[in-house]
Amino acid sequence: MSPEINRNILIAVDASENSRRAVEYVGNLLGDIKGFKATLLHVIREPEEDEFPDPGEKDKWYQEHRRHVNRMLAEYRGMLMEAGFADADVSARSSLRYCPSMAECILAEMDSLEYATLVVGRRGLSLKEEFLFGSISGKIVRIARNCAVWVVE
Amino acid sequence: MTGQFSQEVLQKLVAHWVPGQRQNQPFRVYRDTSNFFSIEYGDIVILNDTPYLIRHNTKEGRFGLDDEVKYWVKRAIDLATGEAKIVKLVFHEKFIARIGDISFECFRSPLKEARILNLVGSRPNFMHGISVQDDQGNMVRILDVIGGITLADHVWDLASRIDHETYFYQYFPEILDNYIECAEAIRFLHQAGEKHGDIRRDHIIVDRDSGVYRWIDFDYNFRHRENMFGYDLFGLGNVLMFLVGMGDLLVPRLKIDKPDIFARLSDNDTNIVFNNRVANLIKIYPYIPEDLNRILMHFSKSANVFYDQAAELLDDLYEFKSDFFKKEITNES
Protein backbone atom coordinates (compact mmCIF):
# COMPACT_ATOMS: atom_id res chain seq x y z
CA MET A 1 0.00 0.00 0.00
CA SER A 2 1.18 3.52 -0.76
CA PRO A 3 2.54 5.06 2.46
CA GLU A 4 1.49 8.64 1.70
CA ILE A 5 -2.23 7.90 1.85
CA ASN A 6 -3.88 8.74 5.15
CA ARG A 7 -5.68 5.58 6.25
CA ASN A 8 -7.24 6.96 9.40
CA ILE A 9 -11.02 6.78 9.36
CA LEU A 10 -13.18 8.80 11.69
CA ILE A 11 -16.70 7.49 12.29
CA ALA A 12 -19.03 10.04 13.89
CA VAL A 13 -21.71 8.17 15.81
CA ASP A 14 -24.68 8.48 18.09
CA ALA A 15 -27.15 5.92 19.41
CA SER A 16 -29.24 5.83 16.24
CA GLU A 17 -29.75 2.91 13.92
CA ASN A 18 -28.11 4.77 11.05
CA SER A 19 -24.91 5.17 13.10
CA ARG A 20 -24.88 1.44 13.74
CA ARG A 21 -25.18 0.86 10.00
CA ALA A 22 -22.25 3.21 9.39
CA VAL A 23 -20.08 1.24 11.83
CA GLU A 24 -21.17 -2.04 10.23
CA TYR A 25 -20.34 -0.69 6.79
CA VAL A 26 -16.80 0.32 7.78
CA GLY A 27 -16.28 -3.03 9.48
CA ASN A 28 -17.49 -5.01 6.47
CA LEU A 29 -15.51 -2.92 3.99
CA LEU A 30 -12.18 -2.52 5.77
CA GLY A 31 -12.10 -5.06 8.60
CA ASP A 32 -9.98 -7.57 6.70
CA ILE A 33 -7.56 -5.04 5.24
CA LYS A 34 -4.48 -4.22 7.28
CA GLY A 35 -3.24 -0.67 7.70
CA PHE A 36 -6.49 1.14 8.45
CA LYS A 37 -7.18 2.73 11.79
CA ALA A 38 -10.68 3.70 12.91
CA THR A 39 -11.74 6.16 15.56
CA LEU A 40 -15.29 6.32 16.85
CA LEU A 41 -16.31 9.83 17.78
CA HIS A 42 -19.34 10.99 19.72
CA VAL A 43 -19.79 14.69 20.43
CA ILE A 44 -21.98 15.46 23.44
CA ARG A 45 -23.79 18.71 22.94
CA GLU A 46 -23.38 20.98 25.96
CA PRO A 47 -26.90 21.73 27.25
CA GLU A 48 -28.13 25.31 27.69
CA GLU A 49 -27.08 26.79 31.01
CA ASP A 50 -30.56 26.55 32.51
CA GLU A 51 -31.96 23.50 30.76
CA PHE A 52 -31.78 21.89 34.19
CA PRO A 53 -33.21 23.66 37.26
CA ASP A 54 -29.98 23.25 39.23
CA PRO A 55 -26.36 22.21 38.64
CA GLY A 56 -26.94 18.95 40.51
CA GLU A 57 -29.54 17.80 38.00
CA LYS A 58 -27.30 18.78 35.10
CA ASP A 59 -24.46 16.79 36.60
CA LYS A 60 -26.76 13.81 37.12
CA TRP A 61 -27.87 14.02 33.49
CA TYR A 62 -24.28 14.27 32.31
CA GLN A 63 -23.08 11.28 34.33
CA GLU A 64 -26.00 9.19 33.09
CA HIS A 65 -25.49 10.30 29.50
CA ARG A 66 -21.76 9.65 29.72
CA ARG A 67 -22.47 6.07 30.89
CA HIS A 68 -24.77 5.52 27.88
CA VAL A 69 -22.17 6.96 25.53
CA ASN A 70 -19.37 4.80 26.94
CA ARG A 71 -21.54 1.70 26.60
CA MET A 72 -22.45 2.64 23.02
CA LEU A 73 -18.84 3.30 22.02
CA ALA A 74 -17.71 0.00 23.59
CA GLU A 75 -20.37 -1.84 21.60
CA TYR A 76 -19.38 -0.18 18.31
CA ARG A 77 -15.71 -0.87 19.06
CA GLY A 78 -16.58 -4.53 19.56
CA MET A 79 -18.37 -4.59 16.19
CA LEU A 80 -15.28 -3.28 14.39
CA MET A 81 -12.99 -5.76 16.10
CA GLU A 82 -15.32 -8.60 15.31
CA ALA A 83 -15.16 -7.49 11.68
CA GLY A 84 -11.35 -7.85 11.71
CA PHE A 85 -9.89 -4.61 13.03
CA ALA A 86 -7.03 -5.17 15.47
CA ASP A 87 -7.55 -3.97 19.02
CA ALA A 88 -4.77 -1.36 18.62
CA ASP A 89 -6.33 0.00 15.44
CA VAL A 90 -9.68 1.01 16.97
CA SER A 91 -10.09 3.90 19.36
CA ALA A 92 -13.05 5.79 20.71
CA ARG A 93 -13.50 9.26 22.07
CA SER A 94 -16.29 11.51 23.20
CA SER A 95 -16.18 15.16 24.07
CA LEU A 96 -18.57 17.66 25.60
CA ARG A 97 -18.76 20.76 23.42
CA TYR A 98 -20.83 23.86 22.89
CA CYS A 99 -22.31 23.06 19.49
CA PRO A 100 -24.49 25.56 17.64
CA SER A 101 -23.93 23.18 14.69
CA MET A 102 -23.13 19.52 15.28
CA ALA A 103 -21.78 19.19 11.73
CA GLU A 104 -19.27 21.97 12.38
CA CYS A 105 -18.32 20.44 15.73
CA ILE A 106 -17.66 17.05 14.12
CA LEU A 107 -15.55 18.64 11.41
CA ALA A 108 -13.61 20.66 13.99
CA GLU A 109 -12.86 17.45 15.92
CA MET A 110 -11.80 15.84 12.69
CA ASP A 111 -9.40 18.64 11.85
CA SER A 112 -7.85 18.47 15.29
CA LEU A 113 -7.37 14.71 14.92
CA GLU A 114 -5.98 14.86 11.37
CA TYR A 115 -8.25 12.30 9.80
CA ALA A 116 -8.78 12.28 6.06
CA THR A 117 -11.99 10.25 5.83
CA LEU A 118 -15.18 10.88 7.75
CA VAL A 119 -18.02 8.36 7.93
CA VAL A 120 -21.52 9.33 9.08
CA GLY A 121 -24.89 7.65 9.01
CA ARG A 122 -27.89 9.32 7.46
CA ARG A 123 -31.09 9.38 9.42
CA GLY A 124 -33.45 9.66 6.47
CA LEU A 125 -35.35 12.67 7.72
CA SER A 126 -38.65 13.65 6.21
CA LEU A 127 -38.72 16.88 4.22
CA LYS A 128 -40.40 18.77 7.03
CA GLU A 129 -37.99 17.47 9.68
CA GLU A 130 -35.05 18.52 7.55
CA PHE A 131 -36.67 21.92 7.07
CA LEU A 132 -37.35 22.45 10.77
CA PHE A 133 -34.25 20.98 12.33
CA GLY A 134 -31.65 20.58 9.60
CA SER A 135 -29.60 17.52 8.64
CA ILE A 136 -26.17 16.86 10.14
CA SER A 137 -24.99 14.60 7.30
CA GLY A 138 -26.37 17.00 4.69
CA LYS A 139 -24.46 19.90 6.18
CA ILE A 140 -21.25 17.86 6.52
CA VAL A 141 -21.39 16.99 2.83
CA ARG A 142 -21.96 20.66 2.01
CA ILE A 143 -19.20 22.23 4.09
CA ALA A 144 -16.49 19.57 4.51
CA ARG A 145 -13.16 20.44 2.88
CA ASN A 146 -9.94 18.49 2.30
CA CYS A 147 -11.41 15.15 3.23
CA ALA A 148 -13.56 12.33 1.92
CA VAL A 149 -17.05 11.95 3.41
CA TRP A 150 -18.92 8.66 3.33
CA VAL A 151 -22.61 8.91 4.08
CA VAL A 152 -24.15 5.55 4.93
CA GLU A 153 -27.88 5.12 4.64
CA MET B 1 -39.94 45.68 58.72
CA THR B 2 -38.36 44.29 55.52
CA GLY B 3 -35.06 46.01 54.87
CA GLN B 4 -35.67 49.68 54.24
CA PHE B 5 -39.34 49.08 53.38
CA SER B 6 -41.40 49.03 56.56
CA GLN B 7 -45.17 48.44 56.32
CA GLU B 8 -45.61 52.17 56.87
CA VAL B 9 -43.30 53.08 53.98
CA LEU B 10 -45.03 50.59 51.70
CA GLN B 11 -48.47 51.95 52.69
CA LYS B 12 -47.30 55.44 51.76
CA LEU B 13 -45.82 54.35 48.42
CA VAL B 14 -48.94 52.43 47.47
CA ALA B 15 -51.21 55.29 48.53
CA HIS B 16 -49.12 57.64 46.38
CA TRP B 17 -49.02 55.58 43.19
CA VAL B 18 -52.23 53.57 43.50
CA PRO B 19 -54.66 55.77 45.41
CA GLY B 20 -57.56 53.40 44.79
CA GLN B 21 -55.84 50.42 46.43
CA ARG B 22 -57.58 49.36 49.66
CA GLN B 23 -55.32 47.65 52.17
CA ASN B 24 -56.70 46.46 55.48
CA GLN B 25 -54.04 43.84 56.22
CA PRO B 26 -50.26 44.30 56.40
CA PHE B 27 -48.60 43.64 53.06
CA ARG B 28 -47.07 40.23 52.49
CA VAL B 29 -43.54 40.99 51.34
CA TYR B 30 -41.44 38.61 49.22
CA ARG B 31 -37.75 38.75 48.39
CA ASP B 32 -37.66 35.07 47.41
CA THR B 33 -40.04 34.39 44.49
CA SER B 34 -39.46 30.64 44.19
CA ASN B 35 -43.03 29.79 45.20
CA PHE B 36 -44.76 32.02 42.65
CA PHE B 37 -48.17 30.44 43.25
CA SER B 38 -48.26 32.00 46.71
CA ILE B 39 -47.59 35.52 45.44
CA GLU B 40 -50.97 37.12 44.90
CA TYR B 41 -52.80 40.33 44.14
CA GLY B 42 -51.82 43.06 46.63
CA ASP B 43 -48.52 41.44 47.71
CA ILE B 44 -45.20 43.22 47.49
CA VAL B 45 -42.13 41.75 45.78
CA ILE B 46 -38.83 43.48 46.41
CA LEU B 47 -36.30 43.06 43.65
CA ASN B 48 -33.00 44.91 43.43
CA ASP B 49 -34.15 47.18 46.29
CA THR B 50 -37.26 48.23 44.38
CA PRO B 51 -40.71 47.28 45.67
CA TYR B 52 -43.33 46.07 43.18
CA LEU B 53 -47.01 45.94 44.02
CA ILE B 54 -48.40 42.77 42.48
CA ARG B 55 -51.62 42.97 40.50
CA HIS B 56 -53.20 40.09 38.59
CA ASN B 57 -51.64 37.13 36.81
CA THR B 58 -51.44 37.40 33.04
CA LYS B 59 -53.22 35.16 30.58
CA GLU B 60 -52.41 33.86 27.15
CA GLY B 61 -54.94 32.65 24.64
CA ARG B 62 -54.11 30.63 21.58
CA PHE B 63 -56.06 29.28 18.62
CA GLY B 64 -59.44 29.96 20.13
CA LEU B 65 -58.75 28.08 23.35
CA ASP B 66 -59.65 29.60 26.70
CA ASP B 67 -57.02 31.91 28.10
CA GLU B 68 -54.46 30.07 30.16
CA VAL B 69 -53.46 31.75 33.41
CA LYS B 70 -49.71 32.19 33.69
CA TYR B 71 -49.18 32.21 37.45
CA TRP B 72 -45.51 33.01 37.06
CA VAL B 73 -46.17 36.18 35.04
CA LYS B 74 -47.58 39.02 37.13
CA ARG B 75 -48.76 42.48 36.31
CA ALA B 76 -47.16 44.86 38.82
CA ILE B 77 -46.55 48.48 39.67
CA ASP B 78 -43.03 49.71 40.27
CA LEU B 79 -43.45 51.60 43.53
CA ALA B 80 -40.33 53.69 42.86
CA THR B 81 -41.72 55.20 39.66
CA GLY B 82 -45.38 54.27 39.49
CA GLU B 83 -44.85 52.56 36.13
CA ALA B 84 -46.80 49.45 35.20
CA LYS B 85 -44.53 46.43 34.66
CA ILE B 86 -44.76 42.75 33.90
CA VAL B 87 -42.80 40.64 36.36
CA LYS B 88 -41.84 37.22 35.01
CA LEU B 89 -40.84 34.83 37.76
CA VAL B 90 -38.84 31.65 37.30
CA PHE B 91 -40.82 28.62 36.24
CA HIS B 92 -38.76 25.59 35.25
CA GLU B 93 -41.17 23.90 32.88
CA LYS B 94 -40.44 21.20 30.35
CA PHE B 95 -43.09 20.32 27.84
CA ILE B 96 -43.60 18.65 24.49
CA ALA B 97 -44.21 21.03 21.60
CA ARG B 98 -46.18 19.63 18.70
CA ILE B 99 -46.00 21.07 15.20
CA GLY B 100 -48.16 19.13 12.84
CA ASP B 101 -47.15 15.52 13.49
CA ILE B 102 -43.67 16.39 14.78
CA SER B 103 -43.02 16.69 18.50
CA PHE B 104 -39.96 17.80 20.44
CA GLU B 105 -39.08 18.68 24.02
CA CYS B 106 -39.01 22.36 24.97
CA PHE B 107 -38.22 24.13 28.21
CA ARG B 108 -38.62 27.62 29.63
CA SER B 109 -35.30 29.35 29.94
CA PRO B 110 -35.28 32.48 32.14
CA LEU B 111 -31.56 32.88 31.52
CA LYS B 112 -32.07 32.93 27.75
CA GLU B 113 -34.74 35.61 28.08
CA ALA B 114 -32.49 37.63 30.39
CA ARG B 115 -29.60 37.36 27.91
CA ILE B 116 -31.82 38.54 25.06
CA LEU B 117 -33.25 41.46 27.05
CA ASN B 118 -29.71 42.53 27.75
CA LEU B 119 -28.69 42.01 24.13
CA VAL B 120 -31.56 43.97 22.55
CA GLY B 121 -31.48 46.88 25.01
CA SER B 122 -33.75 49.57 23.59
CA ARG B 123 -33.89 48.27 20.00
CA PRO B 124 -37.37 49.22 18.79
CA ASN B 125 -38.56 45.86 17.44
CA PHE B 126 -38.34 44.03 20.76
CA MET B 127 -39.97 44.19 24.16
CA HIS B 128 -37.75 45.92 26.68
CA GLY B 129 -36.87 45.16 30.26
CA ILE B 130 -34.25 44.20 32.76
CA SER B 131 -33.42 41.04 34.65
CA VAL B 132 -32.57 40.87 38.34
CA GLN B 133 -31.91 38.03 40.74
CA ASP B 134 -34.10 37.65 43.79
CA ASP B 135 -32.72 36.60 47.18
CA GLN B 136 -32.61 32.95 46.07
CA GLY B 137 -30.85 33.68 42.78
CA ASN B 138 -33.99 33.28 40.65
CA MET B 139 -33.56 35.27 37.41
CA VAL B 140 -36.64 37.52 37.41
CA ARG B 141 -37.42 39.60 34.34
CA ILE B 142 -39.09 42.98 34.76
CA LEU B 143 -40.66 44.03 31.48
CA ASP B 144 -42.09 47.28 30.20
CA VAL B 145 -45.74 46.98 29.26
CA ILE B 146 -46.40 47.42 25.54
CA GLY B 147 -49.74 49.02 24.81
CA GLY B 148 -51.30 47.51 21.72
CA ILE B 149 -52.75 44.39 20.16
CA THR B 150 -51.10 41.33 18.67
CA LEU B 151 -50.33 41.28 14.98
CA ALA B 152 -52.83 38.44 14.64
CA ASP B 153 -55.62 40.57 16.12
CA HIS B 154 -54.60 43.51 13.94
CA VAL B 155 -54.93 41.45 10.75
CA TRP B 156 -58.15 39.75 11.86
CA ASP B 157 -59.61 43.14 12.59
CA LEU B 158 -58.82 44.27 9.02
CA ALA B 159 -60.18 40.99 7.66
CA SER B 160 -63.49 41.62 9.40
CA ARG B 161 -63.89 44.93 7.59
CA ILE B 162 -62.34 44.72 4.10
CA ASP B 163 -61.86 42.28 1.23
CA HIS B 164 -58.49 40.77 0.43
CA GLU B 165 -57.76 42.82 -2.68
CA THR B 166 -58.32 46.11 -0.82
CA TYR B 167 -56.17 44.81 2.02
CA PHE B 168 -53.42 43.71 -0.32
CA TYR B 169 -53.07 47.02 -2.15
CA GLN B 170 -53.90 49.46 0.64
CA TYR B 171 -52.62 47.91 3.85
CA PHE B 172 -50.23 45.10 3.00
CA PRO B 173 -47.31 47.28 1.73
CA GLU B 174 -47.00 48.97 5.11
CA ILE B 175 -47.54 45.69 6.96
CA LEU B 176 -44.78 44.12 4.85
CA ASP B 177 -42.38 46.95 5.73
CA ASN B 178 -43.08 46.36 9.40
CA TYR B 179 -42.68 42.60 8.96
CA ILE B 180 -39.31 43.14 7.29
CA GLU B 181 -38.21 45.17 10.33
CA CYS B 182 -39.24 42.24 12.51
CA ALA B 183 -37.32 39.79 10.35
CA GLU B 184 -34.30 42.09 10.57
CA ALA B 185 -34.65 41.96 14.35
CA ILE B 186 -34.56 38.16 14.20
CA ARG B 187 -31.51 38.33 11.94
CA PHE B 188 -29.87 40.46 14.66
CA LEU B 189 -30.63 37.78 17.27
CA HIS B 190 -29.30 35.00 15.07
CA GLN B 191 -26.11 36.89 14.35
CA ALA B 192 -25.61 37.10 18.11
CA GLY B 193 -26.11 33.32 18.36
CA GLU B 194 -29.57 33.52 19.93
CA LYS B 195 -32.86 32.09 18.72
CA HIS B 196 -36.24 33.60 19.51
CA GLY B 197 -37.64 30.11 20.03
CA ASP B 198 -41.35 30.72 19.60
CA ILE B 199 -42.06 32.90 16.58
CA ARG B 200 -45.81 33.33 16.19
CA ARG B 201 -48.10 36.05 14.96
CA ASP B 202 -49.35 36.59 18.51
CA HIS B 203 -45.82 37.09 19.76
CA ILE B 204 -45.62 40.33 17.82
CA ILE B 205 -47.34 43.33 19.41
CA VAL B 206 -48.27 46.32 17.27
CA ASP B 207 -47.18 49.16 19.54
CA ARG B 208 -50.14 51.50 19.88
CA ASP B 209 -47.92 54.55 20.41
CA SER B 210 -45.28 54.09 17.72
CA GLY B 211 -46.91 51.64 15.31
CA VAL B 212 -43.73 49.55 15.52
CA TYR B 213 -44.05 45.75 15.55
CA ARG B 214 -42.33 44.32 18.62
CA TRP B 215 -41.30 40.78 19.47
CA ILE B 216 -42.25 39.44 22.90
CA ASP B 217 -41.58 36.24 24.90
CA PHE B 218 -38.02 35.03 24.47
CA ASP B 219 -37.99 32.32 27.12
CA TYR B 220 -38.91 29.30 24.99
CA ASN B 221 -35.96 27.08 24.35
CA PHE B 222 -35.21 23.61 23.06
CA ARG B 223 -32.21 21.47 22.34
CA HIS B 224 -31.83 22.16 18.66
CA ARG B 225 -30.59 19.63 16.16
CA GLU B 226 -28.46 20.72 13.21
CA ASN B 227 -30.02 24.00 12.22
CA MET B 228 -30.27 26.16 15.31
CA PHE B 229 -32.47 28.68 13.54
CA GLY B 230 -34.69 26.43 11.40
CA TYR B 231 -37.66 26.65 13.75
CA ASP B 232 -37.42 30.44 13.87
CA LEU B 233 -37.38 30.55 10.06
CA PHE B 234 -40.41 28.31 9.94
CA GLY B 235 -42.15 30.78 12.26
CA LEU B 236 -41.16 33.72 10.08
CA GLY B 237 -42.56 31.89 7.04
CA ASN B 238 -45.85 31.18 8.77
CA VAL B 239 -46.24 34.79 9.86
CA LEU B 240 -45.50 36.00 6.32
CA MET B 241 -48.04 33.56 4.88
CA PHE B 242 -50.64 34.82 7.36
CA LEU B 243 -49.93 38.44 6.44
CA VAL B 244 -50.03 37.88 2.68
CA GLY B 245 -53.25 35.87 2.98
CA MET B 246 -54.89 38.26 5.49
CA GLY B 247 -55.34 35.21 7.71
CA ASP B 248 -54.89 31.48 7.28
CA LEU B 249 -56.27 30.00 4.09
CA LEU B 250 -57.53 26.66 5.32
CA VAL B 251 -58.10 23.78 2.93
CA PRO B 252 -61.31 22.49 4.61
CA ARG B 253 -62.78 26.01 4.50
CA LEU B 254 -61.94 26.40 0.80
CA LYS B 255 -63.57 23.09 0.05
CA ILE B 256 -66.83 24.52 1.37
CA ASP B 257 -66.56 28.19 0.37
CA LYS B 258 -64.60 28.03 -2.89
CA PRO B 259 -64.87 24.52 -4.36
CA ASP B 260 -63.54 25.66 -7.76
CA ILE B 261 -60.27 26.84 -6.16
CA PHE B 262 -60.16 23.77 -3.94
CA ALA B 263 -60.35 21.59 -7.04
CA ARG B 264 -57.18 23.23 -8.42
CA LEU B 265 -55.11 22.69 -5.27
CA SER B 266 -52.61 19.88 -4.87
CA ASP B 267 -50.72 18.64 -1.83
CA ASN B 268 -47.67 20.61 -2.97
CA ASP B 269 -49.63 23.84 -2.55
CA THR B 270 -49.90 23.44 1.21
CA ASN B 271 -47.67 24.46 4.10
CA ILE B 272 -44.66 22.17 4.58
CA VAL B 273 -45.78 21.22 8.10
CA PHE B 274 -49.42 22.27 8.46
CA ASN B 275 -51.25 20.15 5.90
CA ASN B 276 -54.45 22.20 6.10
CA ARG B 277 -52.96 25.63 5.33
CA VAL B 278 -52.49 26.85 1.76
CA ALA B 279 -49.02 28.25 0.98
CA ASN B 280 -49.46 28.77 -2.75
CA LEU B 281 -51.66 31.81 -2.26
CA ILE B 282 -51.45 32.99 -5.86
CA LYS B 283 -53.90 30.21 -6.70
CA ILE B 284 -56.47 31.94 -4.52
CA TYR B 285 -55.52 35.57 -5.11
CA PRO B 286 -54.04 35.80 -8.62
CA TYR B 287 -52.93 39.44 -8.18
CA ILE B 288 -50.27 38.37 -5.63
CA PRO B 289 -46.95 38.95 -7.43
CA GLU B 290 -45.05 35.84 -8.54
CA ASP B 291 -41.88 36.95 -6.74
CA LEU B 292 -43.69 37.22 -3.44
CA ASN B 293 -45.48 33.93 -3.94
CA ARG B 294 -42.14 32.27 -4.71
CA ILE B 295 -40.93 33.28 -1.25
CA LEU B 296 -44.02 31.67 0.30
CA MET B 297 -43.36 28.50 -1.68
CA HIS B 298 -40.09 28.05 0.26
CA PHE B 299 -42.41 27.11 3.12
CA SER B 300 -44.55 24.73 1.07
CA LYS B 301 -44.44 20.98 0.50
CA SER B 302 -43.01 21.56 -2.97
CA ALA B 303 -39.91 23.32 -1.58
CA ASN B 304 -36.60 21.71 -2.39
CA VAL B 305 -34.48 24.61 -1.17
CA PHE B 306 -34.95 25.94 2.36
CA TYR B 307 -33.91 29.20 3.91
CA ASP B 308 -31.07 28.46 6.34
CA GLN B 309 -30.81 31.99 7.68
CA ALA B 310 -33.04 35.02 8.12
CA ALA B 311 -30.64 36.92 5.84
CA GLU B 312 -31.66 34.73 2.87
CA LEU B 313 -35.35 35.38 3.43
CA LEU B 314 -34.66 39.09 3.80
CA ASP B 315 -32.62 39.21 0.58
CA ASP B 316 -35.56 37.74 -1.32
CA LEU B 317 -38.01 40.15 0.31
CA TYR B 318 -35.85 43.16 -0.54
CA GLU B 319 -35.49 41.93 -4.11
CA PHE B 320 -39.25 41.47 -4.41
CA LYS B 321 -39.88 44.95 -3.04
CA SER B 322 -37.41 46.68 -5.33
CA ASP B 323 -38.66 44.84 -8.45
CA PHE B 324 -42.28 45.38 -7.49
CA PHE B 325 -41.89 49.10 -7.04
CA LYS B 326 -39.84 49.39 -10.23
CA LYS B 327 -42.72 47.77 -12.11
CA GLU B 328 -45.22 50.10 -10.47
CA ILE B 329 -43.20 53.14 -11.51
CA THR B 330 -42.86 51.79 -15.07
CA ASN B 331 -46.60 51.16 -15.26
CA GLU B 332 -47.38 54.66 -14.09
CA SER B 333 -45.02 56.41 -16.55
Q: Please report which helix (H) or strand (E) contains residue A40, including its range.
A: strand A37-45
Are B68 and B41 spatial neighbours (Cβ–Cβ below 8 Å)?
Answer: no
pLDDT of residue B243: 98
pLDDT at res. B300: 97
Domains, chain A, in order of start with CATH, read: 8-152 (3.40.50.620)
pLDDT band at A112 (very low <50, low <70, confident <90, very high): confident
pLDDT band at B1 (very low <50, low <70, confident <90, very high): very low
Nearest to B282 by CA among B274, B257, B291: B291
Q: Å from B227 to nearest chain A CA?
A: 5
- Single out the residue of A18, B294, A22, A17 nearest to residue A9, CA to CA: A22
- A145 neighbors A114 (Cβ within 8 angstroms): no
Asked whether B39 and B58 are in contact (CB, 8 A), the reply is no
- Pair B162, B219: CB distance under 8 Å: no
Distance in angstroms (rounded) separating the CA atoms of residues A143 and A124? 19
pLDDT classification of B165: cutoffs 50, 70, 90: very high
Tell me the pLDDT band of B62, cut-offs 50, 70 and 90.
low
Query: For the purposes of burial, counting CB atoms within 10 Å of the CB of A4, is it exposed (0-12), middle (13-18) or buried (19 or more)?
Result: exposed
Q: Is the pLDDT of residue B187 over 60?
A: yes
Contacts of A43 in chain B (CB under 8 A): none
Interface membership of B5 toward A (CB under 8 Å): no
CATH 3.30.200.20 describes domain B8-144 = yes
Contact (CB<8Å) A100/B193: yes
- Phi/psi region, residue B121 (left: phi>0; alpha: psi -120 to 50; beta: rest), is left
Q: For B148-332, which CATH superfamily applies?
A: Transferase(Phosphotransferase) domain 1 (1.10.510.10)
Q: Which residues of B touch A101 (CB under 8 A)?
A: 226-228
Are the C-beta atoms of residues B51 and B79 closer than 8 Å to each other? yes
Phi, psi of B14 (to 5 degrees): -65, -45
Q: A133 and B306: CB-CB below 8 Å?
A: no
Question: 3-state DSSP call for residue B199?
Answer: coil
A-chain CB neighbours of B230 within 8 Å are: 131-134
Domain boundaries, chain B: 8-144, 148-332
The model's pLDDT over B75-89, given as tens digits with 9 standing for 90+, comes to: 999 999 999 999 999
Mutation target to probe the A interface, by most A beta carbons within 10 A, among B118, B225, B273 is: B225
Which range (A34-43, B62-71, B99-108, B223-232) has the least confidence?
B62-71
Q: Label the pairing between strands B220-222 and B102-108.
A: antiparallel
Q: In B, which residues are within 8 Å of A142 by CB distance?
A: none
B 254-283 residues inside an 8 A Cβ radius of A: 272-273
Q: Phi, psi at residue A67, to the nearest 5°?
A: -60, -45
Instruction: Give the residue, B31 or B68, on which the prediction is more confident.
Output: B31
